Amino acid sequence: MPDAPADLTDAYKTAFRGHPAGVAVITAEGPDGPTGLTASSVASVAVDPPVLVFSLSTNSGSAGVVLGAPVFVVHLVDSHGVALAKRFASTGSPAADDPIWGTLPSGDRYLPGAATALRCRPLSTTPIGSSTVVVAEVLDIVVGLGHGEPLVYHNREFHSLTDRSRLS
Amino acid sequence: MPDAPADLTDAYKTAFRGHPAGVAVITAEGPDGPTGLTASSVASVAVDPPVLVFSLSTNSGSAGVVLGAPVFVVHLVDSHGVALAKRFASTGSPAADDPIWGTLPSGDRYLPGAATALRCRPLSTTPIGSSTVVVAEVLDIVVGLGHGEPLVYHNREFHSLTDRSRLS
């Protein structure tokens, strides 16, 4: 595909900067220990069997680990997990012995501070330029104990949903 | 893939019901005139060239028209477009001469009441059970005049984001 004109790219970036999204942290086991990244593109595709989709904008660092892993964990994050979302949006992941990590019954590491952990295996990874679309089947689900407010990412800021944000 | 156990499917539905998402209306020209559907799975994949992804949970009705169309329009909807989102979440689309429709410079019909209209061509459509993942390139963008609040769909209700919903 040819490069897009600058004005189209700019309009596209502006459009999606204004498009709100839920927040997820995706973790996987790499050669140097567990790693993860924050993603705002996780969506459900199908329910039986449960299949989700997300995209990664690079294939290096934590994204490369997720793309190469036979199993990874997609965490849906609520307002109690804002610190997790911020932590995994920055470079460098917590060390393997950091108490941020827990262990699933399967033995895979996960983040008990997230609202929900979905252990997944990739069904397909489709490169689109330097990005990749990942379709994954959910193998099992661990629901966290805490219940925060729904968390939304919009224009580089976090919002939470409450009765006051609801439209009649 | 084998069917998922009922408790996994239930946990999965509950998890994504609680995962907030932005709102989009996708329209295309069918044999019986223009049609459309409301989707909460639209996400950006890449910016240069601009590519987005969404999924459809069926291939009949309006979804079938979108899946068969050489060109369709993805509208990102804000709080001024709640009525659009509700209208296209129900069965049956507005007639071709309904004033809800406008015409893009390309000649394609679109919804001027949406915040942004992205005219797209499909790059790939991947069936997952009875659902389909669509990856599409954005050809051009029309930005609407009005500026509502960002609109979020969560647990079958609409919310808007404001200064009050922002987390410090």
Classify residue B3: in a domain, yes or no: no
Classify residue A10: in a domain, yes or no: no
pLDDT, tens only, A65-114: 999 999 999 999 999 999 999 999 998 899 999 999 999 999 999 999 99
Mean pLDDT of B87-99: 94
Classify residue A28: in a domain, yes or no: yes
Shortest Cα distance from B98 to chain A (angstroms)?
26
A133 closest CB neighbour out of B11, B135, B137: B135
From chain A, pick out residues whose CB is under 8 angstroms from the CB of B155: 150
pLDDT band at B139 (very low <50, low <70, confident <90, very high): very high
CA pair distance B75, B23, nearest whole angstrom: 9
A9 closest CB neighbour out of B40, B50, B160: B50
Rounded to 5°, angle at Cα B45 from B39 and B48: 130
B48 closest CB neighbour out of A44, A129, A158: A129
Classify residue B83: in a domain, yes or no: yes
CATH code at position A115: 2.30.110.10
Upstream peptide bond of A20 is cis (omega within 30 degrees of 0) = no
Rounded to 5°, angle at Cα A159 from A157 and A165: 145
Give the residue from A24, A22, A21, A26 showing the smallest Cα distance to A93: A26
Supply the pLDDT for residue A168: 79
Beta bridge partners of residue A77, listed in sequence order: A23
Is the pLDDT confidence value at B54 over 90? Answer: yes
| Whether A8 and B164 lie within 8 Å, measured CB to CB | no
């001027």: which residue's tokens? B112
Classify residue B49: in a domain, yes or no: yes
Classify residue B2: in a domain, yes or no: no
| Whether B165 and A166 lie within 8 Å, measured CB to CB | no
Number of structural domains in chain B: 1
Residue range(s) defining the domain that contains residue B41: 22-88+96-149
| Whether A21 and B16 lie within 8 Å, measured CB to CB | no
Is the pLDDT confidence value at B146 over 70? Answer: no
DSSP-derived 3-state class of residue A124: strand
Mean pLDDT of B45-63: 95
From chain A, pick out residues whose CB is under 8 angstroms from the CB of B159: 161, 165-167
Supply the pLDDT for residue A1: 52
**Reported ipTM exceeds the 0.85 cut:** yes
Classify residue B165: in a domain, yes or no: no
Classify residue A2: in a domain, yes or no: no
| Whether A15 and B123 lie within 8 Å, measured CB to CB | no
> Which residues in chain A show pLDDT less than 70?
1-3, 145-146
DSSP H/E element including B141: strand B131-143
